[in-house]
Amino acid sequence: MTEAMETPGGGNYLAALAGIVADVSDVARQVAAAQIAELRVLAAAGRLAEAQAISANAKVRLHDMALRSIAAEVGGVLRTTDRTVQRRIGEARTIIEGFPAAVAAWESGRIVREHVRAIVDAGMTLPAEMWAEFEAVAIERCEKDTPNRVRGELEILAHRMHPRSFAERHEEAAAGRCVRLVPGRDGMSDLIATLPTVIAEGIHDRLTQQARAIVDTREERAAGSGDAAGVVASDARTTNQVRADVFADLLLAGTPALDDTRDTSAGPLGAIRARVQVLVPAATLTGSDDGPCDLSSRSPIDPATARTLAGDTTIWERLFHDPTTGVTVATDSYRVPSGMRRFLQARDQHCRFPGCRVAAIRCEVDHTHDHALGGATELSNLAHLCQRHHSMKQFTAWRVRQLKGGVLEWTSPLGRTYREDAPTPAVAFTPAAPPPGEPAPF
């Protein structure tokens, strides 16, 4: 790679970029201070309404009237409706009064606004008397990673801390499953299905695989056609559009109408099945624990579903670990037979570029030190990267090196370093104890 490619424009480019980054950092601090100040003012407005009702020995209805009046007054200044302001006042009081430690961490720059939102959203599922305990653990976790990565982990933490079991609460929530039709504009509508998470993930994954198969077939035909432009023009739909069309076909006709190469009732597209990566603690698998299981570091699923998937199918990639020690105790049913790939999927869980959470099953295994330049194919030189960040590593001035324990150290074009630890829970393998009298394996 040439020096010009690594530093476009030379020193002027890097100087300009450094200035932009510094400005962004300053502006981010100013914005955070203003957002916190606004929350405190709105919370004060809510307390004023409450105090007015108490001083007048008012009933609930009069208190609500006082709040509406104040919200209308503030709404006039903000040029928004009193309903919107009243909702924001309620949210502000919850954040400022219910999660003060998170606000303090935000104010000091240890976490950002999206971290606070993730903490509040997860913490609100717990009784109010448990918020402070949850908040302390959640802040520590948020300081180590981006909001999109910690959100699922915070949800699981809240579920495990809840006095009622996750299985019991999931059963109640599942009773509310439904399909809703929301009319839209220009002859369009939203069809919304509220389903157990693992079912929804499986549906979306299968649709995605089918859409990609159609798009890939279209591109292959275009490449082999003498009139490639005409072939592509005849079907220029995006992956999102194809996914929606397949969804409609499956519900209306029971088979993808787009599958013009089918030779069975289902066709090649119909043979595609969903893939979902689930982490199941050993205690949950055996039934001694009813805590939630982790759906590829995204969101929790109920233990009964996880046990069913673990026992009844061979297409699920299973990782069972001890929730106390984090040590892996069993792995099986991985579709890729390579032990190295299984270990990497278990260790990485998602793309290893800072902030990215594309699941490992959607990523490419990349040689940290390029194989063409002598990099070895070994665990200490391999990590999962999604296509976007794999390309960025190859064609921009971003650089990465791998340290012990699967830690990646990324360096930006400006020389800033970003440490990317292996996701928790870390995977570790321990050898079985040898029978008495036999030497230990090596």
In tens, the pLDDT along 126-154 reads 999 999 999 999 999 999 889 988 998 89
Give this prediction's pTM.
0.63
Q: Are residues 386 and 299 in the same domain?
A: no
Residue with token string 């119909």 = 270
Q: Read off the pLDDT of residues 294-346 as tens digits, 9 standing for 90 and up.
A: 665 556 777 777 777 666 555 544 444 445 534 333 343 333 335 577 778 88
Choose one of 316, 345, 368: the last residue of a domain: 316
Tell me the backbone φ, ψ of residue 284, rounded to 5 degrees. -70, -40
Q: Are residues 304 and 385 in the same domain?
A: no
Check if the beta carbon of residue 130 is closer than 8 Å to that of residue 113: no
In a domain, 141, yes or no: yes
Q: Are residues 357 and 417 in the same domain?
A: yes
Spatial separation of the C-alpha atoms in residues 320 and 325, rounded to whole Å:
12
Q: Are residues 155 and 289 in the same domain?
A: no
Mean predicted lDDT score pLDDT of the chain = 79
Q: Are residues 282 and 352 in the same domain?
A: no
Can you tell me whether residue 271 is helix, strand or coil?
A: coil
In a domain, 184, yes or no: no
Alpha-helical runs (H) found in 56-146: 60-78, 82-98, 100-107, 113-123, 131-142
In a domain, 255, yes or no: no
Q: Does 108 score more than 90 pLDDT?
A: yes
Q: Are residues 41 and 163 in the same domain?
A: yes
Please give the structure tokens belonging to residue 204.
């979306």
Query: Structural domain tally of the chain?
Result: 3
Q: Are residues 286 and 367 in the same domain?
A: no
| Domain extent for 296 | 276-316
In a domain, 199, yes or no: no
Choose one of 130, 145, 171: the last residue of a domain: 171
In a domain, 233, yes or no: no
Q: Does 427 score more than 70 pLDDT?
A: no
Q: Are residues 305 and 325 in the same domain?
A: no
In a domain, 299, yes or no: yes
Q: Are residues 402 and 370 in the same domain?
A: yes
Predicted local distance difference test score (pLDDT) of residue 166: 81
In a domain, 329, yes or no: yes
Q: Read off the pLDDT of residues 47-72 as tens digits, 9 standing for 90 and up.
A: 998 887 776 555 556 667 888 888 88
In a domain, 293, yes or no: yes
CA triplet 190, 194, 197: central angle to 5 degrees? Answer: 125
Q: In what order do the strands lie in the sheet with 399-402?
A: 399-402, 408-411, 417-420
Q: Are residues 93 and 60 in the same domain?
A: yes
Cβ atoms < 10 Å from Cβ of 286: 10
Q: Are residues 132 and 35 in the same domain?
A: yes
Q: Are residues 420 and 294 in the same domain?
A: no
With pLDDT > 90 as the criterion, what percentage of the chain qualifies?
32
